[in-house]
Structure 1
Amino acid sequence: MAFQTLPKGGEGGDRPWWLVALVVIGLGIAIVIAVNDLYSQVFTIVAQGLFTTIFVTLVGFVLATALGLGIALLGMSDHVALRQTARFYIEVIRGVPILVLLFYIAFVGAPAIVGLYNLVISPLTAAGLAEPMLVRDFSLMWRAIIALMIGYSAFIAEIFRAGIQSVDKGQIEAAKSLGLNRYQRFRLVVLPQAVRVIFPPLSNDFVAMVKDSSLVSVLGVADITQMGKVYASGSFRFFETYSIVAYVYLILTIGLSLMLRALEKRMRQHGKAG
């Protein structure tokens, strides 16, 4: 059977007509929002939650990446107890849905953290030098960020593990022969090469967290979804409201995906040139 050779270009050699279609549809919706008072009002209200969505996503992802890297390094430790602890953490967290984890951190973890904090500062409280913390003082937004951090850290740890283990062991041995210590080998030899493997799945997780950040609305955090939910419940304009909510998320996720894909392509070209 003969197969036709696909021309060079986008995915599978095809031109990105899907992107052209999305841009045309997006511009059409933007025109509707600009000329229609109802859609304009909905967009204005929903956009008020944009900063919260971006803040929760960025902070949650940075913390999840740092924690995930730490868990990955523990999982590759020479000590069996550390490796087993890391594996236990990864398997447990990956098995719990993000929404369940969000509720657990918000209504179980947060009171426990507050109780531990009050226990630590109890000598200062007794001396009148500090005030005990109340559970309501623990921001719901930060409870949501901690839940996203923990939930995503397990998946990111596996991404880091796979990326680090993809580096040729011969290069690590060569670095050892040059007298580099473990930290220097990781920073100068392993990490620069592992980043090329790590970046694509890590960027996918970043885009996924933008969408999963909408779960914080169940705690009443004023993100895009929550602002839409509040407006729709009061106006009963469910179609218009959730159409705009979906439109805003699509702008965020598709725009972010395109930027990350371009960055990935540049990194790949730089790697080939090097």
Structure 2
Amino acid sequence: MMTRRHHHPSDSGPLKDRVVVVTGAARGLGEGLAHALARRGARLALLGLEEERLAVLAAALPGRSAHWTVDVTDADGLAAAAEAVRDTLGEPSVVVANAGVALGGPLLECEPAAWRRVVDVNLVGSALTVRAFLPGLLRTHGYYLQVASLAALAPSPLLTAYCASKSGVEAFAHAFRAEVAHQGVAVGIAYLSWADTDMIRAADETAVFRELRTHMPWPLSATHGTAPFVRAMVRGIERRSAHVYAPRWLRGANAARACLPSVITYRSRQVLAAHGDAPLPTTGLLGPGGSAAGSAGPDHPELRAEEEPRPAE
């Protein structure tokens, strides 16, 4: 871990000199979010598995920042990181649970250890993260932002572990909000659609996955640059929002969520039936957090790096 101090001008808004913890900070949305929050005067505690990338990011941020290499499924490691954040930067006012991995492929073909790793990182890792930093949030009457997904609203075939984990973090965040509201801690859920990241591009290398995504009804099939997602999350953090939707049409998707599984099943049946009895490939674990599982799928022997997938998500 290293601490960086830069003296660039920053806004004097609600995040000025507030300590913000971001997991999965080395890439993609986590990296973009760190830059945006630092420009608003926040002190950034960057957590992830890619020490070199975290160090480069910390060096590039304006203001004060520090980074720690930690696996979000490691309760002891998170506890040590939480103590170090407090000693180095101060008590956290915001914690963003952004770290995540994905696994694509038919359930029968997915390695059980890899399938479980997705749930461990995305769901269990989120709970362990906020548990480690909760004492600080209680003292600052802070804000916890749980990164969920359109996958929590519109579950997709070939993404059973990812969809289960994102539905799980949504339910977890709702329950946790009710648990700590009387103590002054606010909890938000970020529903994010497909972002044009390394993760989605890697998944799209599997033809059937790409075909399923592109055959979903518009706008569920559309991809977007990361900037709108980052802006929405920053706005949500500043407002301590209970729900963050990016793009904004996801608010309507949430209202129509009871209908979405049937629509997706209808479209998916057509696509998958066209493949007949041909075996469908798996993507292997996608994301730096997958490397701790020690296995990858047969079609992608090298693990793909990205902080948070955005499937249909």
The bucket for the TM-score relative to the shorter chain is under 0.3
Kindly indicate which of the two structures has a greater share of residues assigned to strand. Answer: 2
Structure whose alpha-carbon radius of gyration is higher: 1
So what's the TM-score if we normalise by structure 1? 0.25
So what's the TM-score if we normalise by structure 2? 0.23
With a CA cutoff of 8 Å and minimum separation of 6, indicate the structure with the bigger relative contact order. 1
